[in-house]
Every structure is written in C-alpha cells, then in structure tokens.
Amino acid sequence: MKGAEALVEALKLEGVEVIFGISGGAALPIYDALARETSIRHLLVRHEQAAAHMAEGYSRASGRVGVCLATSGPGATNLVTGIADAAMDSIPLVAITGQVPTAVIGSDAFQEADIVGITMPIVKHSFQVRNPDDIPRIVKEAFHIARTGRGGPVLVDVPRDMAQAQLKGFKFPEKVEIRGYNPACVCDDGEIARAAALIAQARQPVIYAGGGIIASDSSEQLVRLAEKIDAPVAMTLMGRGVIPDRHPLSMNMLGMHGTAYANWAVRDCDLLIAVGVRFDDRVTGNLARFARNAKVIHVEIDPAEIRKNRYAEVAIHADAKEALTKLGAAVQKAEHTDWRRQIAQWKEEQPLAYDRDGALKPQYIMEQLADMTEGAPILATDVGQHQMWAAQFYPFQRPRQWLTSGGLGTMGYGFPAALGAKVAFPEQDVWLVTGDGSFQMNLQELATSVIYGLPVKIALFNNSSLGMVKQWQDLFYEKRYSGIDLKDVPNFKLLAEAYGCVGITVTTPEQVRPALERARDVKDRTVLIDFQHDPDEHVYPMIASGLSVDEMQLQPLGGRKKA
Amino acid sequence: MVAVPANGSMKKHTISVLVENRPGVLARVSGLFARRGFNIDSLAVSATERSDVSRMTVVTLGDERDLDQVIRQLNKLIDVITIFDHTRDDLVEREIALIKVRATVENRSEIMQLTQIFRADIVSISPRDETMIIDVTGDADKIDAFLETMAKFQVLEMVRTGKIALVRGSKMT
C-alpha cells in the first residue's frame, strides 16, 4: 500500500464521505488513490478558497468534520482564508495539501509554498508527513484534534514522495494518545454550586449565548436552563439559533448591531451568564463599560478564553452541554416578572425598525423571506450589511441552520458555505443571503452548484457598493466615499443564466414576494434573485467600534412607523 | 496585550516549557509569543534527560494576568507537553556570557583580578592583538554586575545565553 492509498483508507475509516478540492501536480498521487475509492465523494470546485468554505459549511450544518484538499503552492495558499475563518469560528476542519517531494522542500521548487509555516498562526495543529507509515496515525490525530475541545482547523501536508512511497504496514490506531493534548475537562461541581448560588441571588439575569452552544449541541439544555431561571437570552452572531426567536425569552442578537432591548438588558443586568462565548469586541464594545453592573458566570471550553477579556466571578471550564445540564439541575426555579416586563417594554418601544418610504428596502426583503419561509431553511450569508439584516430579521428555529463568517468576517464565505450545507442536507432548502460585493468573491461556484446538482436559493442584496464600508464612510468619514463603488456590473440575471441557473431581477417592493416564491418553487436549479435595493440604507441599531451601549445609534425614522 | 486592567506590576517570570522534540516546535512557540504580543526576555532551548522531550526556558515580562495568558495560550499548542511557572519556586538559574575585551599590558592584570573575584574564567588570550575572552557563568544579576565592571575596559564583543533553570530539591519540573 502506498502513502496516498493509506491516506484515503484512513479518511474512509474516519467516516469521511465527501471531500471538496482541486487537484494539481503534487496532489496527483492522492487524486489517483481517490479515483479508486468509491465510498468517498470528491467535489471538484472552482477555487480552493471555496473548497475550504464548503467544508466549513458542511461541518457547521452537519456537526461533522469538513475536509478540503488542494495541491501544493497556490492550491495550498488559496486555502488559507478558509483555514483562518475556521480557526476564528472554531469550525472542525481538516485541510489536506499536496507538497513538493521532501528532497526538494526548501529549494523553492515549482509550486512550493511552506504551507505549514504559512498557516502556523491559524491552525489548531498541523502535520507534515515525513514517513509514510505515520499517515494513518496522523489522519486519526488530525480528526481527533479538529473535533474535540474547542474545534478548529488541522492541516495535513503530504509531500509527493510520501504519497508514492510504500508503507511497511497499514496500522490505523484505535485510540489517540497525544500527551500534549487533553481536551477532556471535568466540570467542577464546586463551580456549578457557586454559579447556582449567584443565579439564586440574581434579580435581573441575562444569558449571553454563543457559538459554543451550537458546537456542543446543547441548545436544548440552554433553553431548559433559561426557562427554569426565567432569564432572557441574548445571542451572539455565531449563537443565532440556540433559542428559537419565537420563544418569549429570545432577545435576538446583542452587540454592535444587536437589538436595542438585548443591549439594554445586558447594560442593566446584575448577572451575565456567558456560555460558549469569548467577549469579542463586536459584542462588548468598550469592555470597561460592558455589563458594568453584572457579575459574570463564564462557561467556556477553552481555558485561554476564561478571564481573557472580562473577569468572571465564576468560571466553569467545561463543555457547554455538561455544564448546562449540571447547572440546570443545580438551580432553583425562579421568576423575574418585573425584569421580563421591563424588557418587553423596551422591545415594544424599540423593535427592529426601518423606514417604509416606498423604496425597495433590504429589511423588507428579509421580512418577506422570513414570512415566506418561517425560518425553516438553512440560511448562509456573506459578510456586510446583508449579513446583519439576516441575523436580525430571520426567525431562527434551531441551531446549525445558520452559516455565517463571524470572527474573520470573510466576504466570499457564504455561497460555498451554502453549497457545503446542501451537500450535507440535499433534501433541505438552503438560502443564501449575500451582497453584490461578497458574491463576486466566489461566484465561480455557480458552476459547482450546476454540475453537482446542488440547487440553492440566492437572495443577492445589490446596492452596487461595499455597503457596510459605505455606512462607516457615511457615519464617520463625512461621506468621503473611497473604494466602495462597485457600479452596476455585472448583470446578475444574465450571469446566473450563463451558468445555467435561473436569474431574476427585482427593483420594486411589489416584485419581492413573487420572486421569492418562484425561487422557493424551483427545485432543480440554483436561483439567483438580484434585489436592487435602496443603496443608502444603514444597519441599525449600531454601537460604533470601541463605544458602549450608551452611544447606541438607533434607526433614524423619517415618517416613523414601526416594523 | 489584553484588554483587561493590569493586575499587579510588570515583572520577569521564568517558565519551563516541556515540548515534543520535533521539527517546527520552536517556530510554533516563538510564533505564538510574537503574534500575541507577549514579551520574550530570553529563551533557551535544550535537550533533556529524555530524548523525545526538549525544554524551553522562557523569561517573559508582564503582570500576573499576562503570565496567565502566556501559559494558557502555550497550553493550547499540541506539541507543548507541560508548562511550569517558576514564580514561586526556589531555582538554580544559570546564564553564560562570553566577553571579548581589549587587554593591554597595562590593564591585563586588573582584568584578571576582577575575573577572579567574579569566579569567571579567562578562556582565551591573544597577546599579539591584545584581546581576551572571559567566560562568566551565573545568574542574571551576577552577569549584569560583571558586564558593568567590564564596561570601563574596551568590550569588543559580547554574547550571552538565555537563562536555564531547575528547581532545587526533589520537585521535578
């Protein structure tokens, strides 16, 4: 058995069903071995960055480890953005790269890049195969590291000669033993008891819920705890879906573009129960003034995040599922009627709102999408204004239906992530909410969607500009527009049709619903709706960078009507 | 480094990091210090009594919270096996400096005397071009003091290792 065959065999034993990738010289032996393995499906994409994002979308939607594959040099460097994205959002990902033969590593050989060195700051761990007999163990360890503890990307770099060399024997280890890596953490009962005591004293508790709850599949436990202690839940961008938005305890999102009521609740709470979050600057703004009256309970799997940004009175180093289960059992049932009434009043006074002045508003499109789908489909987004409107207006029903690039903020993430989710769940509807800027960063994957029969529904929010940057230039740079004008190019309807997809152009509010319904009803092809909306709309509420809830800007409503 | 109020004063902390003896591990550790803005005052990498383990002795400057982050972030590296914070340990610490000084007929005996006082060694003498190399071993304070003493002579070149350290007694780190 050759190294490449051992690699593929080990992937099979890991239960890998699908790989997203692009071949090339150094990866030829791996592709040759893949051609002879029928149980693993390989999707040939059009750009390696998309392969990485597809693997991320597949992983986030399914809870499994995503796998992408590229050749050496440019193939490998094209994966870098996806690997960094997975690192920031704790997505289990295994990236396999071809490499030039060991004999010429370091000689600037054709298509050589030191991908292990390049990715060192953004991987959870990396391997370079130096002995073909190590391949099964390396694969086993790579998947173990990617999926356990705080998930993340692992790189496996395979020099071409290692892929071609004969193994002495194929031995796939049953167990992983890495002495420097012990992700198992025991949830401390003393800390649970201290947390329960703080919760018992709290009069105005808030749960600050993040992506860690989704990663540990513990939404149920979170909702049960929230209900038992009657604590409203503010979600991070990555945590959208941990509690359904129709649930009375949902306060939607907090932070820079969070709802006013979620941010006010965090401002006034006396206990902040932070679960699977890292006190990111987009959530906290000015740290010194974030939840300034609150004691903090921090449940977190990564010990390096505990007390990194914010002191926690009680720190529970644990997997969210175990901690929430134990905490749910340890707390007393409570009711916070006045507190809940206060939040309901804030919500009444300051809901998510926008001007209905007759123009085609992006928020209206999101509302219509929400109304039509009731939040059932998987929803992927790119990065920018449309992403925030999607996070605000989509009525999330469940975890793992929401795919977005949070930490890295990667434009170009959304479309491939949507395709990755469609691969994981071919029977489910997958919508992509994207912008004209973001979509053009990976639109070449329209080909992938057509060729592999992966129909997704694309709502393209077209303002002919980099809208979020424009918003900042409007607000903070006296409208001195610089580097934001994307003009009215291309014609997205024709672009979609050129790839064999359905293209629809929408320019008025009346056209929105019929277009959405048509996209919903087309089952066999990808549909792209080009929504040419009011380009001057801003995302509100907004807490500008580094400021606090006291400086929150609300939607300035002209002829003000509530949404 | 981190957006939390400083907790305590800036101090030098010595930590021992036991790592897998593998290619690339030094890059992972030093890269982590660089990208997270942690200060490295000195770093010594060496073999240990176990062939598959290397020991990095790191002196880092920061307050207690910085140190806590350094240790927690280092712990996330898969190739890091264990970390010992020596803040409260009774340590034997050593550094070595080699100092090349201009030693003329006039000042040579004074240099030799001072070298003796510091229990340093003259390890090379080149009478023709009037230079000497002095080897001084000890903790950082001793080496600092010796260098200060030598400053009045013409120091041509100096090289100094990072600190290595072991805890006194039977405590293994």
* Same-domain status, B60 and B117: no
CA distances from A530 to A69, A367, A444, A457, A491 (A): 32, 16, 16, 11, 9
CB atoms within 10 A of CB A168: 10
* Same-domain status, B114 and B152: yes
* Same-domain status, B24 and B80: yes
The verdict on A124 touching B (C-beta cutoff 8 Å) is: yes
Give this prediction's pTM: 0.95
Confidence (pLDDT) at A263: 98
* Same-domain status, B85 and B122: no
* CATH code assigned at B50: 3.30.70.260
> How confident is the model over A340-371, as pLDDT tens digits?
999 999 999 999 999 988 999 999 999 999 99
The verdict on A106 touching B (C-beta cutoff 8 Å) is: no
Give domain status of residue B173, yes or no: no
Residues A180, B73: C-beta atoms closer than 8 Å: no
Q: Which residues of B touch A128 (CB under 8 A)?
A: 24
Closest residue on chain B to A150 (Cα): B76
Q: Give the CATH superfamily of A189-349.
A: TPP-binding domain (3.40.50.1220)
Give the mean pLDDT of A93-114: 98
Percent of chain B with pLDDT over 70: 95
The verdict on B37 touching A (C-beta cutoff 8 Å) is: no
Confidence (pLDDT) at A409: 98
Give domain status of residue B1, yes or no: no
Confidence (pLDDT) at A185: 85
Could you please state the CATH topology (level 3) that the domain comprising A3-164 is classified under.
Rossmann fold (3.40.50)
Candidates A148, A308, A545, A548: best to mutate against B (most CBs of B within 10 A) is A308
ipTM of the complex model: 0.91
Percent of chain A with pLDDT over 70: 99
The more confidently predicted of residues A185 and A179 is A179
Give domain status of residue B30, yes or no: yes
> How confident is the model over B45-75, as pLDDT tens digits?
999 999 999 999 999 999 998 999 999 999 9
Q: Which residues does A30 contact at the CB level (< 8 Å), separation at least 6?
A: A4, A7, A8, A69, A96, A98, A158, A163
The verdict on A145 touching B (C-beta cutoff 8 Å) is: yes
Q: Which residues of B touch A304 (CB under 8 A)?
A: 69, 72-73, 75-76
Confidence (pLDDT) at A163: 98
Name the 3-class secondary structure at B47: strand
* Same-domain status, B51 and B103: no
* Same-domain status, B79 and B34: yes
Q: Which of these three, B89, B110, B133, is where a domain ends?
A: B89
* Same-domain status, B17 and B66: yes
The verdict on A181 touching B (C-beta cutoff 8 Å) is: yes
* CATH code assigned at B152: 3.30.70.1150
Domain total of chain B:
2
Confidence (pLDDT) at B171: 84
Q: Which of these three, B89, B116, B146, is where a domain ends?
A: B89
* Same-domain status, B51 and B104: no
Confidence (pLDDT) at A559: 47
Q: Number of A:B CB contacts under 8 A? A: 51
- The pLDDT confidence band at residue A558, using thresholds 50, 70 and 90, is low
Domain ranges of chain A: 3-164, 189-349, 362-539
> How confident is the model over A211-251, as pLDDT tens digits?
999 999 999 999 999 999 999 999 999 999 999 999 999 99
Confidence (pLDDT) at A186: 85
Can you tell me the distance from the alpha carbon of A369 to that of A458, in angstroms, rounded to the nearest whole number? 11
> How confident is the model over A468-515, as pLDDT tens digits?
999 999 999 999 999 999 999 999 999 999 999 999 999 999 999 999
Residue stretches of chain B with pLDDT short of 70: 1-8
CA distances from B28 to A163, A408, B142 (A): 25, 21, 32
Our CA-based measurement puts residue A354 at a distance from the nearest CA of chain B, in whole angstroms, of 35
* Same-domain status, B58 and B47: yes
Could you please state the CATH topology (level 3) that the domain comprising A362-539 is classified under.
Rossmann fold (3.40.50)
* Same-domain status, B34 and B104: no
> How confident is the model over A31-57, as pLDDT tens digits?
999 999 999 999 999 999 999 999 999
Confidence (pLDDT) at B7: 55
The verdict on B20 touching A (C-beta cutoff 8 Å) is: yes
- The pLDDT confidence band at residue A561, using thresholds 50, 70 and 90, is very low
Q: Which residue(s) pair with B58 in the sheet?
A: B15, B43
Can you tell me the distance from the alpha carbon of B142 to that of A23, in angstroms, rounded to the nearest whole number? 60
**Tokens encoding B8:** 């305590």
Q: What is the mean pLDDT of chain A?
A: 97
Q: What is the C-alpha radius of gyration for chain B, rounded to an integer number of angstroms?
A: 19
Task: Tell me the residue range of the domain where B121 lies.
Answer: 92-167
Q: Which of these three, B62, B89, B116, is where a domain ends?
A: B89
Q: Which residue(s) pair with A458 in the sheet?
A: A432, A528
Give domain status of residue B142, yes or no: yes
